[in-house]
Amino acid sequence: MPRTGLLDGPGFWERLLRLLYPEKCVFCGTILPETAKISTCKVCHATLPRYGRGFERAPHIPWVNGLFAAFVYEDMVEQAIHAMKFFGRPRTAHTLAFLMWEEMGRHPMTPDCDLIVPVPMHRRKQLSRGYNQSGIIGQALGEMLDIPVEHALIKTRHTKPQSLSTREERLTNLEDAFRVADPTVVAGRSILLVDDVATTGATLGACARALREAGASWIFAAVIAIAGK
Ligand SMILES: [Zn+2]
């Protein structure tokens, strides 16, 4: 059976299902036509808070050679990411990945990457949530960019959420929290590290460091949204 990729739009069964369970815009909840390719209405699509820059240097995140953010982490984007994380809406992750890919396409200076590596969750957290949103975003992005995806990183211990930590805690919280399962997978490769949100950049930095120490040659990072402009 041919695979229905994100870029093909919904197949027959998906359209039929949508007659019973109408697809809604992930940002405003408007019901969409059953032929809609992505779960976003035209109005929201036109007014998304785009970050509007390509891959750029991120001096505050050592180990990362370039950072791409599709949107600013505010309002509608913040709410959609929150819904994806806490209300179990992997479909939202697919839509956000598509929008991220679309934004990336507006900037021609996208680096050549050999591998996509999603930022991992601790195993226990993933079991309770049921999925890792960065993993879903990474998989979808890999399909659209035609880059293989490797879940090369492991989160070795549970850490307090960065958003609930003090500044001092944030700096030490993530030390040695990530490691590469098999360094031969990343050695000498150019990596695109994928996560949902960059706030301080500490998580991306800790992941990038583990990848670099395992021998990765270049590490670029891409997030759906970046906090603070
Ligand atoms: Zn909408």
Three-class SS of 18-64: HHHCCCECCCCCCECCCCCCCCCCHHHHHHCCECCCCCECCCCCCCC
Query: Distance (Å, rounded) from C-alpha 60 to C-alpha 44?
Result: 31
Asked if pLDDT for residue 208 goes beyond 60, the answer is yes
CA–centroid distance, 23 to ligand 1, in Å, is 11
The predicted structure's pLDDT at residue 169: 73
Cβ(173)–Cβ(203) below 8 Å = no
CA–centroid distance, 91 to ligand 1, in Å, is 15
Residue with tokens 């969750």, as numbered in its chain: 121
User: In Å, what is the CA distance from 157 to each residue of 46, 118, 173, 177?
Assistant: 40, 17, 10, 6
Per CATH, the architecture of 49-226 is what? Answer: 3-Layer(aba) Sandwich (3.40)
Instruction: Quote the mean pLDDT of the chain.
Output: 87
The predicted structure's pLDDT at residue 2: 42
> For the segment 90-131, what is each residue's pLDDT rounded down to a tens digit?
778 889 999 999 999 998 777 899 999 999 988 888 888 778
Between 195 and 6, residue with greater pLDDT: 195
pLDDT band of residue 3 (cuts 50, 70, 90) is very low
Determine which of 55-64, 138-147, 172-181, 207-216 has the lowest per-residue pLDDT on average.
172-181
pLDDT band of residue 229 (cuts 50, 70, 90) is low
Q: If you average pLDDT over residues 143-151, what whole number do you get?
A: 95
CA–centroid distance, 31 to ligand 1, in Å, is 9
The predicted structure's pLDDT at residue 1: 38
CA–centroid distance, 102 to ligand 1, in Å, is 17
- Most confident residue range from 6-10, 128-132, 189-193: 189-193
Query: Distance (Å, rounded) from C-alpha 113 to C-alpha 98?
Result: 18
> For the segment 9-68, what is each residue's pLDDT rounded down to a tens digit?
777 777 777 677 778 899 999 998 877 878 899 999 999 999 999 999 988 898 999 999
CA–centroid distance, 27 to ligand 1, in Å, is 5
Query: Distance (Å, rounded) from C-alpha 208 to C-alpha 127?
Result: 24
User: In Å, what is the CA distance from 209 to each residue of 136, 156, 204?
Assistant: 23, 14, 8
- Most confident residue range from 82-91, 128-137, 189-198: 189-198
Asked if pLDDT for residue 190 goes beyond 80, the answer is yes
CA–centroid distance, 25 to ligand 1, in Å, is 5
CA–centroid distance, 5 to ligand 1, in Å, is 22
CA–centroid distance, 37 to ligand 1, in Å, is 14
Q: If you average pLDDT over residues 194-207, what whole number do you get?
A: 93
Between 94 and 4, residue with greater pLDDT: 94
Range list for CATH 3.40.50.2020 in the chain: 49-226
CA–centroid distance, 161 to ligand 1, in Å, is 29
The predicted structure's pLDDT at residue 226: 96
Determine which of 4-13, 90-99, 199-208 has the lowest per-residue pLDDT on average.
4-13
Q: Judge residue 29's burial from the number of C-beta atoms within 10 Å of its C-beta, 0-12 exposed, 13-18 middle, 19 or more buried.
A: exposed
Closest CA to 71 of 14, 137, 115: 137
Cβ(189)–Cβ(152) below 8 Å = no
Q: Give me 21's structure tokens.
A: 């369970």
CA–centroid distance, 156 to ligand 1, in Å, is 38
- CB within 8 Å of 43: residues ≥ 6 apart: 28, 30
Q: If you average pLDDT over residues 184-193, what whole number do you get?
A: 97
